[in-house]
Amino acid sequence: MATIYGRNPNIIYEIVNEPDYETWEEVKTYATEIISTIRAIDSNNIILVGSPHWDQDVNLPAEDPITGFNNLMYTLHFYAATHKQYLRDRADDAIKKGLPLFVSESAGMQATGNGALDYTEWNKWISWMEAKKLSWVTWSVSDKDETCSVLNKSASDYGSWKKEDLKESGTKTREILRNKSKNK
């Protein structure tokens, strides 16, 4: 990937997505090896590193970050119906310790990807990310039969989606992004 795309300034590498039961030491060792490989080819683009427990334990890299490389960020994942204030508090502590965070997976339902959208908690997350100036990505741009998929089966594989091509999660994500762009 770095050889093919590394000279493009808009590339973001996510090298460890949602480590589950690995320790931070295991993730850090693996990530350091992969980062070294990428940096030998691409010295500047952002590299995202996950943390244990499905990118919830951002406190661990905050205590022992990877050093010796530039443009590293650590990923945080949340699902608003599951992850509440405790996870924002944990992330706040990591940020206070200087850990750069990127929310590379987020949505309004349960962590299973299904269940009802928790609009109240999702709005809290959006407000929190705005206040912290964090970039975020929604999960998932697909048409699978699950709440987290933002597209209906009618959606084109090539974009140019209409409102009727969006599921409830897609409609809310679109609203958030459009409101964000209006407020600039």
Q: Rounded CA gap, 74 and 103, in Å?
A: 8
| Sequence-ordered strand ranges (E) for 9-153 | 12-14, 46-49, 72-79, 101-107, 136-138
Pairwise CA distance, residues 168 & 141, whole Å: 12
Q: Would you say 97 and 63 are in contact if contact means Cβ atoms under 8 Å apart?
A: yes
User: What's the DSSP call for residue 167?
Assistant: -
C-alpha–C-alpha distance, residues 16 and 57, integer Å: 13
Q: Please say if 105 is a catalytic residue.
A: yes
Residue tagged active-site, from 14, 18, 22, 168: 18
Q: Which residues are the active-site residues?
A: 18, 105
